[in-house]
């Protein structure tokens, strides 16, 4: 085996490869003819963040089997190109979870006890003991938004301080939350009940700007907010206004929308702690990611064990071409159910019909789970199943002959949630167009792409017209309007509409739709 370490790694990382008899290991300073030349007969490439492992580089590596990224982000690796070439791409999610969790707790303590001000005044030769009276964490309520690896690590440490812990995450099971001393609540309850609010979710359309003027207004007066996740989760102007008004007593920010921040208005506020994106920057964390990727790459090369892959499993070119439309369909159907179905997923049941029943469905399954868990952190088409299992979500697969006659290839997803059952079936028509065929036992044919509005209503006259009228009055252009009816015996009871529109439906339009008496719910869905 030949391993190329294209960037500097720790001695412990290097030692894992060097301990394997007969393995050739080249480090970043042993590439006299350049990286492309070294990759000509390499089996594995290990990078950090500087090297761009793009398709052009892979062209020089015909034997390459695996690319390992010592870290979480894989923006510098062309995963699609790797997939086409049968190269597994691995990263190391969770290796820095403890480091991020410890900084989160540290920032909470610093906010509670005014540590930055105390330090600054002492360095200035002042003794301002009376003005620095703080508060204890004991007895306060910590709200954790996002209960992935980092959120759970924060909870485990926070329990030692006597904090009551509440959490909101639609992708974690009640059992996992209970085991970690967390009381699951809705997002609104999280905001309303937290003395300290810490953010640990990935950046998605649903979480972008989730801390805004509206949500801050619903929080306890005097809440303290900690963000060690992504700067884009917070609308800066809204947080700034909250800090100045006293609605927010303090904030600790390790991440920013623009990094490094320029002329940040937060820098002038004494009740804000700013750190330069250092949550995962510990010697132990950096060592951990290097050692972890070395072990993963070694296990793959020796035993074929794939861990923390970020691309699709290897397929022949022909297999990939045949499955690609259904992989895309699965992701769209999962994302549709995540946005239009019931929340609090406890179980996922996938049924493959027609040609899918005869195919390798790991890719399809993981794409569906990825779509369902789209708001979760670090979920991709390879680690999706592991993430689901880690969160206590049961996944069951079934292959059967199509239930709709003919030779149609169908994918059905059924969710078992805290709020009940949710189910959808879809297919691909003309080889490339994803179509919804059924949602919660109501037959309907609608496109699974673009911006959708999913409406449930009582099956009475006038509802469709009112929906169309309001959308028109609000300037929302309708591209497609699909209808379906639920029946109880021979009599229609409820109806379903899936409306495709040209742009995302604004909140003002959703509020206007709520005035329709027979309309039970209207949910916006955004698909690629």
Helix (H) or strand (E) holding 253: strand 248-253
Pairing relationship of beta strands 345-353 and 442-447 according to DSSP bridges: unpaired
pLDDT value, residue 430: 86
Structure tokens, 18: 């060097």
For residue range 143-162, what is the model confidence (pLDDT) as tens digits?
999 998 899 999 999 999 99
Q: Are 155 and 105 in contact (CB under 8 A)?
A: no
Q: Mean pLDDT for the chain?
A: 91
DSSP-derived letter for residue 309 is: B
Sort residue 169 into left (φ over 0), alpha (ψ -120 to 50) or beta.
Answer: beta
Residue 94 has pLDDT above 90, yes or no: no
Mean per-residue pLDDT, 356-382: 83
Per-residue pLDDT band for 405 (boundaries 50, 70, 90) equals very low
Q: Burial, 358: exposed, middle or buried (Cβ in 10 Å; 0-12, 13-18, 19+)?
A: exposed
Helix (H) / strand (E) element for 477: namely: none
Judge contact between 341 and 356, C-beta under 8 A: no
> Who's near 135: CB < 8 A, 6+ residues apart?
112, 113
Q: Which residues contact 493 (CB under 8 A, 6 or more apart)?
A: 458, 459, 486, 487
Break the chain into its structural domains and give their ranges. Answer: 2-93+284-303, 97-274, 314-440, 447-528
pLDDT in tens, 163-191: 999 999 988 888 899 999 999 999 999 99
Beta bridge partners of 350: 397, 413
CA 42/CA 4 separation, integer angstroms: 7
Q: What is the CATH number of domain 314-440?
A: 3.30.1330.90
CA–CA dist 140, 220 (Å, integer): 12
145, β-bridge pairs: 168, 199
Give the pTM.
0.71
Quote the tokens at residue 63: 């034997």
Are 168 and 187 in contact by the 8 Å Cβ rule? The answer is yes
CATH topology of domain 447-528: Alpha-Beta Plaits (3.30.70)
At the top level of CATH, which class does the domain 97-274 belong to?
alpha beta
SS3 state of residue 348: strand
| 2-93+284-303 shares its CATH topology with 97-274 | yes
CA 253 to each of CA 107, 216, 264, 288: distance values in angstroms, whole numbers, following the listed order: 9, 16, 11, 24
- Strand runs (DSSP E) across 308-464, as ranges? 345-353, 394-400, 410-417, 420-429, 433-439, 442-447, 451-458
Strand 442-447 relative to strand 394-400: parallel, antiparallel, unpaired? unpaired
Give the pLDDT confidence score for residue 58 in this predicted structure.
96
Taking alpha carbons only, the member of 158, 159, 155 closest to residue 146 is 155
Q: Is the pLDDT of residue 318 over 50?
A: yes
CA–CA dist 123, 481 (Å, integer): 67
The per-residue pLDDT for range 491-527, each reduced to its tens digit, is: 668 899 999 999 999 999 999 999 999 999 999 999 9
Strands 410-417 and 345-353: antiparallel
410: tokens are 């169908």
Mention every residue, 6+ apart, whose C-beta is less than 8 A from residue 234.
199, 209, 210, 211, 225, 227, 253, 257
Helix (H) / strand (E) containing 52: none
Torsion of CA 166, 170, 173, 178, to 10 degrees: 0
Residue 409: phi and psi, rounded to 5, are -95, 115
Model pLDDT for residues 280-297, shown as the tens digit of each residue: 889 898 899 999 999 999
Angstrom distance (rounded) from CA 366 to CA 423: 17
pLDDT of residue 315: 61
Q: Phi first, then psi: what are they for 472, rounded to 5°?
A: -65, -45
- For domain 2-93+284-303, the CATH superfamily is NAD(P)-binding Rossmann-like Domain (3.40.50.720)
pLDDT tens digits for 447-481?
999 999 999 999 899 999 999 999 999 999 999 99
Give me the phi and psi of 206, to 5 degrees please: -75, -30
Q: How far is CA 111 from CA 107, 121, 135, in A?
A: 6, 16, 9
Which of the residues are catalytic? 230, 259, 277
């Amino acid at each position: 085996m030949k391993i190329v370490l294209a960037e500097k790694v720790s001695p412990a990382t290097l030692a894992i490869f060097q301990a394997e008899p007969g393995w050739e290991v080249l480090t970043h300073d042993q590439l006299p003819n350049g990286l492309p030349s070294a990759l000509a007969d390499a089996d594995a490439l290990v990078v950090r963040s500087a090297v761009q492992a793009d398709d052009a580089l892979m062209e020089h590596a015909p034997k390459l089997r695996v690319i390992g990224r010592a870290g979480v982000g894989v923006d510098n690796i062309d995963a699609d190109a790797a997939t086409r070439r049968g190269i597994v791409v691995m990263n190391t999610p969770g290796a820095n979870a403890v480091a991020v969790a410890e900084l989160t707790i540290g920032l909470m303590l610093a906010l509670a006890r005014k540590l930055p001000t105390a330090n600054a005044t002492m360095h200035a030769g002042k003794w301002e003991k009376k003005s620095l009276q703080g508060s204890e964490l004991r007895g306060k309520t910590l709200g954790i938004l996002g209960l992935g690896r980092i959120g759970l690590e924060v909870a485990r440490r926070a329990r030692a301080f006597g904090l009551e812990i509440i959490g909101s995450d639609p992708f974690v099971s009640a059992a996992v939350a209970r085991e970690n001393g967390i009381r699951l609540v809705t997002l609104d309850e999280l905001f309303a009940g937290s003395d300290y609010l810490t953010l640990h979710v990935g950046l998605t359309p649903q979480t972008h700007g989730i801390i805004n003027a509206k949500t801050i207004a619903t929080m306890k007066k005097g809440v303290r907010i900690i963000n060690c996740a992504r700067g884009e989760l917070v609308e800066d102007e809204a947080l700034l206004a909250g800090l100045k008004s006293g609605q927010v007593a303090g904030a600790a920010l390790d991440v920013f929308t623009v990094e490094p921040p320029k002329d940040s208005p937060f820098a002038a506020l004494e009740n804000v702690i700013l750190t330069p994106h250092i949550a995962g920057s510990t010697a132990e964390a950096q060592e951990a990611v290097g050692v972890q990727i070395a072990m993963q790459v070694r296990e793959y090369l020796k035993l074929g064990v794939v861990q923390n892959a970020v691309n699709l499993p290897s397929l022949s070119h022909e297999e990939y071409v045949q499955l690609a439309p259904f992989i895309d369909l699965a992701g769209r159907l999962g994302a549709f159910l995540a946005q239009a179905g019931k929340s609090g997923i406890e179980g996922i049941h996938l049924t493959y019909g027609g040609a899918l029943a005869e195919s390798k469905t790991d890719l399809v399954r993981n794409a569906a789970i990825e779509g369902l868990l789209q708001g979760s952190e670090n979920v991709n088409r390879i680690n999706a199943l592991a993430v689901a299992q880690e969160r206590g979500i049961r996944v069951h697969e079934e292959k059967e002959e199509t239930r709709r006659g003919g030779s149609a290839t169908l994918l059905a997803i059924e969710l078992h949630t805290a709020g009940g059952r949710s189910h959808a079936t879809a297919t691909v028509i003309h080889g490339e167009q994803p179509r919804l065929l059924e949602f919660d036992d109501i037959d309907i044919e609608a496109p699974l792409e673009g911006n959708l509005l999913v409406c449930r209503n009582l099956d009475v006259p006038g509802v469709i017209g009112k929906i169309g009228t309001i959308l028109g009055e609000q300037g929302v252009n309708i591209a497609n309007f699909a209808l379906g009816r639920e029946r109880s015996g021979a009599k229609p009871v409820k109806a379903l509409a899936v409306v495709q529109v040209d742009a995302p439906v604004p909140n003002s339009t959703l509020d206007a739709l709520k005035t329709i008496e027979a309309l039970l719910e209207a949910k916006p869905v955004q698909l690629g």
